[in-house]
Structure 1
Amino acid sequence: MNPFTAIAGTLFAAAIAVETAVWLAFLNRLRVRHPQQWLHAEQPIIWQDRTVMSARSTMLYLHHREYADSLDRDGIRYCDRYRAVMLLAYWFTAATGSAALMTLAFYGW
């Protein structure tokens, strides 16, 4: 395997792992500590049907600051506090994924 491709692939895998851990921790705390905000975010009461496999809806909710329309002040503060970390992890994963694909295209396997 090409060393550039190996490094890019490893960075992408690490970014996915970090993003998933951050995202799941955020959602779990949101559900447990701020159930009104959880419902406002239109998250399912029980995770089912691969809901946990898609972070896009959560990221859009945070990106567009839709959480600010809720009546749960503590939930709004919670979302506001973790918004930057969540978006950073999400976009870092997207960037490393793009870099891995470009490295694969330029340098091969």
Structure 2
Amino acid sequence: MNQLTAVAGILFAAAIVVETVVWLAFLHRLKARHPQLWLHAEQPLIWQDRTVLSARSTMLYLHHREYVDSLDRDGIRYCDRYRTVMLAAYWFTAITGFAALMTLARYGW
């Protein structure tokens, strides 16, 4: 295996792990501490319309600051506090995924 491809793949895998941990911790705390905001975010419990929890829907909710429309002031502060970390983890995963694909295309397996 090409070293550059291996490094890009490892970075992408690490980014996925970090994003998943950050995202699940955020959602767990949101549901436990701010159940009204959890409902406002319309997070499915498990399966809803053939969709499990979606990192993308959570990130869009935070990106567009839809949580500001809720009436939960503490929840709004919570989302504001973790918004940057959540979006950074999400975009880091997207960027490393793209880099891994480009490295694979350029240098091969």
TM-score for the superposition, normalised by structure 1: 0.95
**What is the aligned residue count?**
107
Identify the residue that residue 104 of structure 1 maps to in structure 2.
Answer: 104
Equivalents in 2 of 1:70, 1:2: separation in Å?
A: 50
The one-letter amino acid paired with 1:26 is: F
Aligned-residue RMSD, C-alpha = 0.9
1:21 maps to what in 2? Answer: 21
Runs of 4+ aligned structure 1 residues displaced above 3 Å come to: none
Instruction: Tell me how far 1:50 sits from its aligned partner.
Output: 4.9
Identity %: 79
Give unmatched runs, 5+ long, in structure 2: none
**CA displacement, residues 80-105 of structure 1 (integer Å, 9 cap, x when unaligned):** 00000000000000000000000000
Shift of 1:51: 1.5
Q: Over residues 22-63 of structure 1, what are the superposed CA-to-partner deviations in whole Å (9 max), with x where a residue is unaligned? A: 00000000001000000000112x2235513x2010000000
Q: Secondary structure at the match of 1:42?
A: coil
**Alpha-carbon distance in 1 for matches of 2:71, 2:51:** 29
